[in-house]
Structure 1
Amino acid sequence: MKVICTWPTTPLYQSYHDDEWGRPIHDDQRQFEHLCLESFQCGLSWLTILNKRHIIRTCFDDFDVERVAQYTEDDIERIMNTEGMLKSRKKIEAIINNAKAFQRIQDEYGTFCKYMWAFTNHKTIIYDKHPEGQVPAKNGLSTRISKDLKQRGFKFVGPVTIYSHMQASGLINDHGKDCPCFDEINKANPVVRLPADE
């Protein structure tokens, strides 16, 4: 049976799938952006996040970690009053909080990317049965990373959110085995095949 990615149902979705999703990220600013967007997505559709991505980027200074970490109550009000912005004070506060926690990891590891990629031994994981379409919402690895991030002070980083982050950031290749992106990613990056991590 042919297994391709069927979830890109709009041109914006398709562009995100083709150009970003699953492609390994080794840049802290982009890691921070993806982590923020995934946190914002809790309870919403990913398409909603993509449609508002430009507004969210503007509100958070293109996800400049140093700037976001210094946001004050005035910035929260500015973001809350931005036309078209998602009106969740808790998520906005969480992103500011997470920027500070993100910086602490940078101080400890040199970069946030080094911290994240250490969990996969700096390789993109291909889990058994995932290329055949048996993809979970979370797994053992996302649960372990979620627990560690929470201990480090992060918020809105549950196992499902972190699994989505790992997919988006290319720590896991969850494209269908017959999707062109699956082989493109595998040929361009170091990969490891592992049993499913339940």
Structure 2
Amino acid sequence: MNRCPWCLCNEKMIRYHDEEWGVPLHDDRKQFEFLMMEVMQCGLNWNMMIKKREIFRQCFDGFDFDKVAGYGEADVERILGTEGMIRSERKVRAVIHNARCFQQIRDAYGSFSAYLWSFTGGRTYVYPAHQTEGLPASNELSDKISRDLKKRGLKYMGSITVYSHLQACGIINDHREDCFRFAELLALADVEEQK
């Protein structure tokens, strides 16, 4: 069975690739989890995020953004004191701040997922050039969404971070064509080919 090479380093990464990465996601809590893991990942690597995922879930109430939005100083200290947690006060505060911004987007659009998918009209984008020319770190779509998220106050939302999120939540299908998940995920989505 062929898989994207990036996931082959360990079983947790393979499971993430096989079960989650690129699946069209319309659940706000999972959107928040994936997006905030991207925040925690800035300057680090995704393998570390997958390994620490249960610690993040413990620290941030299972990524319940309504609960996280209510966090105060005691919660910041609790999180930073958790064994195995990434000890970046700026990132922890950014997650809490972003939860509040996330709520505002949900209130304006009905859900964060509705907001995010509106950028593609609910479609999953496939870029054939990525199969031959390699995956970019960002593109026009991630640039546009990054600018909008920043305008709405979210932190650590550069275009590279946003592009990674779009791959993770299935807005962009960047599985390799020879990966078994590529065709499976195409079957789950309304697909639009992009140049």
Q: Which residue identity lines up with residue 6 of structure 1 in the other structure?
A: P
Same amino acid, percent of matched pairs: 48
Conserved 8 A contact 2:3-2:181 = no
Structure 2, unaligned runs of 5 or more: none
Conserved 8 A contact 1:37-1:49 = yes
Partners of 1:182 and 1:28 in 2: CA distance: 24
Structure 1, unaligned runs of 5 or more: none
1:51 alignment counterpart: 51
Write out per-residue CA displacement over residues 139-163 of structure 1, whole angstroms, 9 at most, x where no aligned residue. Answer: 1110110010001000001000000
Paired residue secondary structure (2:192):
strand
Q: In the alignment, is residue 15 of structure 1 matched against residue 15 of structure 2? A: yes
Please report how far the alpha carbon of residue 134 of structure 1 lies from its aligned counterpart in structure 2 after TM superposition. 1.5
Report the number of matched residues: 193
Q: Which residue identity lines up with residue 6 of structure 2 in the other structure?
A: W
Worse-matched range after superposition: 132-141 or 72-81? 132-141
Structure 1 stretches of at least 4 aligned residues deviating more than 2 Å after TM superposition: none
Conserved 8 A contact 2:24-2:188 = no
Paired residue secondary structure (1:7):
helix
1:169 alignment counterpart: 169
Conserved 8 A contact 1:132-1:176 = no
Please report how far the alpha carbon of residue 127 of structure 1 lies from its aligned counterpart in structure 2 after TM superposition. 1.1
Q: TM-score, normalised by structure 2?
A: 0.97
Write out per-residue CA displacement over residues 118-150 of structure 1, whole angstroms, 9 at most, x where no aligned residue. Answer: 001101100131233621011111011001000
Write out per-residue CA displacement over residues 70-114 of structure 1, whole angstroms, 9 at most, x where no aligned residue. Answer: 000000000000011110000000000000000000110000000
Larger proportion of helix: 2
1:82 alignment counterpart: 82
Q: Which residue identity lines up with residue 41 of structure 1 in the other structure?
A: Q
Partners of 1:86 and 1:184 in 2: CA distance: 35
Paired residue secondary structure (1:192):
strand
1:115 alignment counterpart: 115
Conserved 8 A contact 1:126-1:173 = yes
2:137 alignment counterpart: 137
